[in-house]
Amino acid sequence: MAGPLSHIRVLELSRVLAGPWAAQTLADLGADVIKVERPGAGDDTRAWGPPWAGDQSAYFLSTNRGKRSITIDFERPEGQELVRKLAAQADVVIENFKVGGLVKYGLDYDSLKAINPRLVYCSITGFGQTGPYRNRAGYDFMIQGMGGLMSVTGLPDGEPGAGPVKVGVAVTDIFTGLYATIGVMGGLAHRDRTGQGQWVDLALLDVQVAVLANQAMNCLVGGTAPQRLGNAHPNIVPYQAFATRDGFIILAVGNDGQFAKFCQVAGRPDLSADSRYATNPARVANRKELVPQLEELLRTRDSQDWLSALEAVGVPCGPINDLEAVFADPHVQARNIRQDLPHPVLGTVPTVASPIRYSETPLVHDAAPPTLGQHTDAVLTEALGLSEADIAALREKGVI
């Protein structure tokens, strides 16, 4: 069965992560995504290895599933015209050039809107289309720092290894890609009602500040900037990693009832009866006194012993897995999160499936990330009606 966006065509003029992640998500939902790449080089991430699957980097494979790749040099007038013709037939354009970077090619929103008023055009930049930083380049690591994430990530000052730390995945780019997907789908819904497309302006810095969530509100409401707490939670105690006799576990107590159950399992029911620890606000206020007692308790038993006992009474807890353990987990396997896709050169390549599960239009992953220019001839023939001679002439000129 076709995905829910199988009626939508997306023209992707982006590379690296945020834009390609948005386009891949739309492809997962069934959209026909045509990725325009530079002849001979393609998306920067094609070269970001090792590791490699054949000659394709794992990085590129992670964010380009389900797309068709065509190569067009749109620094040339003939290439610009090809892209404009494709945009005239598209529902969505996604681009992540610097502010104003596509104007000189006639591929900016105003230029394409003139030929396709129904177009939903999504621009992804570091700092957005307005504001004093609009012309700066933006990168995930830098934005994690500027946007406050690193100020609340890492061990507290005074502890060994203290200091700001970035998240181990480029989460600002990923979140921006997801917000871009949401923005595009909202634009399509508006177009369905009015017939009018629009420009979606996504900035990495905006997104990073937005996803600070409770930490942002802790600052705005409390009037004090939150500090690094390592693996601890600013608003819930105990909600952190603890060392056991043979490793570490996560203890994620979300309410007072769960804390009482933990104390029973730990053989210390007196802790949950103590007014200093009976409620979450009290536990947060008395964190420094409570946590050392819990650390002493957790070290007395092995990780699996704790996990089995706590899971049996409904106390949220879990192991800290490396990625090999993640993909070996029976629940992860039962959910088919890893899928192997047919590839025209490599036979198959692995992918991490979309987490979206629809009851009526289940997603189907059946197209591996494309080789560079794999679909150039097919798209130009199908979408623009070019003949073999036309395509050969463009290739001879280096336009494709």
Q: For the chain, how long is the longest CA-to-CA vector?
A: 84
Instruction: Report residue 308 CA to chain centroid gap.
Output: 32
Measure the CA–CA gap between 200 and 123, rounded to whole angstroms: 6
Count of C-beta atoms within a 10 Å radius of residue 224:
8
- From the list 181, 175, 138, 200, the residue with the least C-alpha distance to 23 is 181
The residues near 260 (Cβ < 8 Å, ≥ 6 apart) are 269, 272
- CA dist 244 and 320 (Å) reads 12
* Residues β-bridged to residue 272: none
Report which secondary-structure segment, H or E, holds 342. Answer: strand 338-343
Report d(CA 31, CA 24) in Å as an integer: 9
Which listed residue (91, 173, 274, 305) is catalytic? 173
**What residues are paired with 93 via a beta bridge?**
11, 121
Amino acid found at 318: G
Which phi and psi angles does 15 have, rounded to 5°? -150, 170
| Cα–Cα distance, 42 to 272 (Å, whole number) | 59
Question: Containing H/E element for 349?
Answer: strand 347-352
Closest CA to 85 of 179, 11, 8, 169: 11
Cα angle 286, 253, 318; round to 5: 130
Of 313, 290, 310, which is closest to residue 302 (Cα–Cα)?
310
Active site residue 28: no
CA distance 292 to 399: 66
Residues carrying an active site annotation: 173
